[in-house]
Each structure stands twice: as C-alpha cells, then as structure tokens.
Amino acid sequence: MHKIWFKTTNKLYIWSLLTKPHPDYSRFIRLDIMGAKNVPDVINEHRIIMDMIDRRDSSGVKDLITKHLYGGVRRLGSKLFSDEYKNYFQAKE
C-alpha cells in the first residue's frame, strides 16, 4: 500500500529512501510490532484510509495520516528509553 501511495503522489524517491536499510528504524518497527502488538492498529488504520480513498472523502485525512505515521512513537515513545529497551539502541557520537 505504501509504495502505491508514493508512486501515485509522484514521490518514489522518498519511498526509495525509506526502504533502504536503516538498522535503528528496522529495529524500532520490529519492537513496535512485537512489543506494542501494533498489527491490529495498523491494519485498522489502513482500512480506514482505503475507505476514505474509496469514498473520495478527504476530511480528516491529514489527521489520520499523521496518527498513522506517528503510531510507533505513540505506542512505544515512553518505553524507548526504559530499561526494557535501552540495549536496543546506541547513542550516536
């Protein structure tokens, strides 16, 4: 779905940047999936987005996309620097 979105909006360059290997981001996504158990949340957001597209309803799209893009931070933000996850990320010097 994401690649189609970037292609349709003529932003494939950004898609290529996002899909390059980024170990910290990949680790964050895996933690979000496993730790926050985000799959139902993300699938529901995708369904709502697709429904809005099907209905050509642009009201609330900006808020929904923002919620979707920051979902991992919303779910894991308070945990990222906790003892539970501190060894997953290293500070860049």
**What pLDDT does residue 36 have?**
67
The parts of the chain modelled with pLDDT lower than 50 are: none
Nearest to 12 by CA among 22, 20, 21, 4: 4
Nearest to 17 by CA among 29, 30, 2, 37: 2
**What pLDDT does residue 39 have?**
84
Residue appearing with tokens 């919303």: 74
pTM of the model: 0.64
| Residue 46 to residue 52: CA distance in whole angstroms | 10
